[in-house]
Amino acid sequence: MDLKPQDVVLALKMLASEFSPWSYAKLGKELAMSASHVFESVARAEAAHLIPFVPSSPMRRRLLPELNRGNLKEFLIHGVKYAFPVERGGATRGIPTAEAAPPLNQYFPESFPLPPVWPCADEDKRSTRGLEFSPLYKNVITASRDPKLYELLALVDAIREGRAREREIAIRELSARIDSK
């Protein structure tokens, strides 16, 4: 079973949610995915050992399983940039990501004339002019309304294609968030 980008987004959402009560439908709504896609994502994340296998039970529908934090951290730091490389495009409007988004924007205040952005419609109030940066998964723009998830996605994007300094700070920030829970 091949890991897909939405499986990584699911694991990041689990980290951001701090294992709050959930259902496939609720998680699907928050991630702009169908409940069946969430179910398949959980199965792939279990197969990839990002989350431990949880046998079917009533508890599975109520609590998010604990993450395999070490495995997730290792994959995000060393594997995500190879498994899901960034595609760049031209100037567009979109949501800032990587070093242009929190928390990295405090280290790199407006250091780029055109920041990396996930392309989105102009009507989005968070829209900024920048250079197109392919999101990890197409629905992250909707899912990024969760501030904690947005930060995690931006950190992962900095690891996916940042320069050495951005990657180093992103790894430190991401490790702190994974290890602190």
> Is 112 found in the same domain as 77?
no
Taking the model in full, what pTM does it have? 0.90
From 59, 82, 105, give the residue that closes a domain. Answer: 82
What pLDDT sits at residue 181? 62
Average pLDDT over residues 133-161: 92
> Is 91 found in the same domain as 75?
no
Share of the chain above pLDDT 90, in %: 58
Is the per-residue pLDDT at 110 higher than 80? no
What pLDDT sits at residue 62? 42
> Is 78 found in the same domain as 89?
no
Is the per-residue pLDDT at 63 higher than 50? no
From 82, 98, 114, give the residue that closes a domain. Answer: 82
> Is 103 found in the same domain as 46?
no
Q: What is the mean pLDDT of the chain?
A: 87
Containing structural domain, residue 126: 85-180
> Is 155 found in the same domain as 141?
yes
CATH number at residue 22: 1.10.10.10
| Domains identified in the chain, total number | 2
> Is 93 found in the same domain as 168?
yes
From 66, 82, 98, give the residue that closes a domain. Answer: 82
Long-range contacts, stretch 161-166, CB < 8 angstroms, 24+ apart = 161/81, 161/85, 161/86, 161/88, 161/98, 161/116, 161/133, 162/98, 162/99, 166/98, 166/99, 166/104, 166/108
Under the banding of pLDDT at 50, 70 and 90, the label for residue 60 is very low
